[in-house]
Amino acid sequence: MLLYFFIIFSIYYFFMLLIYYGWEKISIPLEDNNSKDSSFVSVIIAVRNEEKNLPKLMKCLSSQSYPKDQFEVILVDDHSEDNTVSIIKDANSQGMENVRLLKTNYKSEMNISPKKSALIDGLDASEGDIIVMTDGDCWFGEDWINSMATAFYNEKTMFVAGPVALRGSESLLSKIQALEFSSLIGTGGALIELNYPLMCNGANLAFRKKAFYKVNGYKGFEDNSSGDDVFLMQKIHTLYKNSIAFQKDQRAIVYTSPQPTVSDLIQQRKRWASKWNKYLPPLSWSLPVFLFVHYVSFLIGIIAIFLIPQMIWKVGLLILIKIILDYFVLKKVMVFCKLQFEFWIFLLSEFLYPIYTLFIGISVHFGNYKWKGRLHKI
C-alpha cells in the first residue's frame, strides 16, 4: 500500500514541478504596442441578461489606451430578457461610436450552441484581423486590448490565452473559488508554454481571424455548450504548430466574479467538466484521470493516517510534500493576478478540493446542468 501511495504522489510531484517550471519560463512582454503600427482589433462579446454587469464592462471598454480608430467592439445579444440591449444602445448614443450591437441569428432548432452562434455572427461582421474575446460579466484595465494585441507581434502567433482571475466578495466561498481558479489559470499557462495547450478561458483570449476560418471555426463541437475557447485553441494548435501563446502580463488580466452559491458553482463546473473527454491533444484524457486517482488516493491517505498509526509519518510526509508544492505554485499565480493569498484558505482548500473534485468528476456523467437560464444535456 505504501508503494502505491509513493508512486501516485511522486507522479503528482513531478507534474507540479513541471507546472512551476512552465509558469516561470513564460516570458514577460516588454514591448509596448505604441512602438509599432497598430493592427485593427475586433473585440467580440456575446451577452445574455447582463444588465447588472454591462455598465462596468462598457466603462472598461471606453477607457482603453489602444487607439480608438484601431479597434471596434461588437456586442452580440443572445436573446436577453432584461435591459441588456437598452444599456448597450445608451452607451452607443453617449459617444462610444466604435461599439456595435448585433442580434444573434440563433434558433433552437440549429445544431449549435447559442453562445457559439452569437460569436460566429460577431466574427462574420467583424473588420479586424485580430479577434479579442471576453464575457459580459468581466472587467479589466485600460491596457487590456493593447497587451493582448502586443502578443501578435510574433507573426507565428495565431492564438493567445490571457490570464483570468476571480475577484468578488470576502466570503469564504469566493476566496476558495479564487484560489481554485488561479490553479487552473496557472496550469493552463504553464502547459501552453510547454507546447501542450490543454486549457484556457473564454473570458480572455485572442486569435487571428484567418486562423479561425482556416480551421473551420467551431465545426466539430458546435453543439457543445462549452468549448468555444479550449477546442478552438487545440484546433489551431493542431494546424499551426508552436502558434499558441499565454500572455503573462498583468495589464492583460481580466477579472470576473465568483459564483454566488454552491449550487451555481456546481452548475458551472459541470459545464466545464462536460468537455474533458473531447480534448484533441494526444493522451489529454490522462491528466484528468490521473488527478481523479490522485485525489482518491489523497482521501484514502487521510483515512489511513487515522486508522493505521504506523502510516502517520510515512503517508503524512507524502501529503506534506504535496501541500508544500501546491503552496509555492498557487502563491506565485495569485500574486501575479494581484490577489491576496491567505494561508488558512489555502490549507482549507487542500482538504476540501479533493472531495469537491471527485463529486464534480462523478456527477458530470449524470443528468443535466443549467447555465444562463438554459438547460443543457451532458
Q: Has residue 375 been placed in a domain? A: no
Among candidate residues 279, 285, 289, 185, the one with its CA nearest the CA of residue 233: 279
**Do 173 and 248 sit in the same domain of this protein?**
yes
User: Mean of the pLDDT values across residues 40-68?
Assistant: 94
Indicate the pLDDT class of residue 35, thresholds 50, 70 and 90: very low
**Domain total for the chain?**
2
Type of residue found at 161:
A
Q: List beta partners, residue 161.
A: 205, 246
Asked if residue 217 lies in contact with residue 232, where contact means CB atoms within 8 angstroms, the answer is yes
What pLDDT does residue 33 have?
47
Q: Has residue 13 been placed in a domain? A: yes
**Do 17 and 50 sit in the same domain of this protein?**
no
**Do 36 and 168 sit in the same domain of this protein?**
yes
Q: How many CA within 13 A on the CB side of residue 149?
A: 25
Asked if residue 259 lies in contact with residue 268, where contact means CB atoms within 8 angstroms, the answer is yes
Asked if residue 364 lies in contact with residue 274, where contact means CB atoms within 8 angstroms, the answer is yes
Q: Has residue 278 been placed in a domain? A: no
The residue ranking higher by pLDDT, 349 or 170, is 349
Type of residue found at 281:
P
User: For position 216, which CATH number holds?
Assistant: 3.90.550.10
**Do 153 and 254 sit in the same domain of this protein?**
yes
The sign one gets for the Cα dihedral 308, 310, 312, 316 is negative
User: Mean of the pLDDT values across residues 77-99?
Assistant: 83
From 221, 237, 271, give the residue that closes a domain.
271
What pLDDT does residue 137 have?
94
Q: Has residue 277 been placed in a domain? A: no
**Do 68 and 90 sit in the same domain of this protein?**
yes
Angle among Cα 94, 97, 98 to the nearest 5 degrees reads: 135
User: Mean of the pLDDT values across residues 276-287?
Assistant: 70
* Rounded Cα–Cα distance for residues 108 and 234 (Å): 27
Give the range of the structural domain holding residue 355, as residue numbers without chain letter.
2-22+283-367
- 111-161 residue pLDDT tens: 788 889 999 999 999 999 999 999 999 999 999 999 999 999 999 999 999
Buried b / exposed e along 129-167 (16+ C-beta atoms within 10 A):
ebbbbbbbbbbbbebbbbbbbbbbeeeebbbbbbbbbbb
Lay out the sheet containing 99-103: strands in order across: 99-103, 71-77, 41-47, 130-133, 205-208, 159-161, 244-246
**Do 77 and 171 sit in the same domain of this protein?**
yes
* Rounded Cα–Cα distance for residues 280 and 369 (Å): 24
**Do 197 and 294 sit in the same domain of this protein?**
no
Q: Has residue 234 been placed in a domain? A: yes
User: Mean of the pLDDT values across residues 233-246?
Assistant: 95
Most confident listed range (25-29, 51-55, 223-227): 51-55
* Rounded Cα–Cα distance for residues 210 and 96 (Å): 27
User: Mean of the pLDDT values across residues 306-330?
Assistant: 92
User: Mean of the pLDDT values across residues 107-113?
Assistant: 72
**Do 294 and 240 sit in the same domain of this protein?**
no
Residue keyed to cell 494581484: 338
Q: Has residue 153 been placed in a domain? A: yes
Q: Give φ, ψ of 131 to 5 degrees.
A: -105, 130
Give the CA-trace dihedral at 66, 68, 70, 74, to 10 degrees.
Answer: 100
Among candidate residues 47, 245, 261, the one with its CA nearest the CA of residue 150: 245
- From residue 65, alpha-carbon distances to 41, 115, 250, 253, 317 in Å are 13, 28, 15, 15, 50
User: Mean of the pLDDT values across residues 55-73?
Assistant: 94
User: Mean of the pLDDT values across residues 96-119?
Assistant: 84
Q: Has residue 372 been placed in a domain? A: no
What pLDDT does residue 13 have?
97
- Kind and range of the H or E run holding 349: helix 343-363
Asked if residue 121 lies in contact with residue 104, where contact means CB atoms within 8 angstroms, the answer is yes
Q: Has residue 378 been placed in a domain? A: no
What pLDDT does residue 61 have?
95
Asked if residue 157 lies in contact with residue 151, where contact means CB atoms within 8 angstroms, the answer is yes
**Do 247 and 135 sit in the same domain of this protein?**
yes
- 62 φψ region: left (φ > 0), alpha (ψ -120 to 50), beta (else): alpha
From 230, 250, 271, give the residue that closes a domain.
271
User: Mean of the pLDDT values across residues 33-56?
Assistant: 84
**Do 70 and 160 sit in the same domain of this protein?**
yes
Q: Name the percent of the chain lying above pLDDT 70.
A: 89
Q: Is the pLDDT of residue 30 over 70?
A: no
**Do 159 and 192 sit in the same domain of this protein?**
yes
Angle among Cα 32, 37, 40 to the nearest 5 degrees reads: 100
**Do 13 and 135 sit in the same domain of this protein?**
no
From 225, 248, 271, give the residue that closes a domain.
271
Angle among Cα 325, 243, 112 to the nearest 5 degrees reads: 95
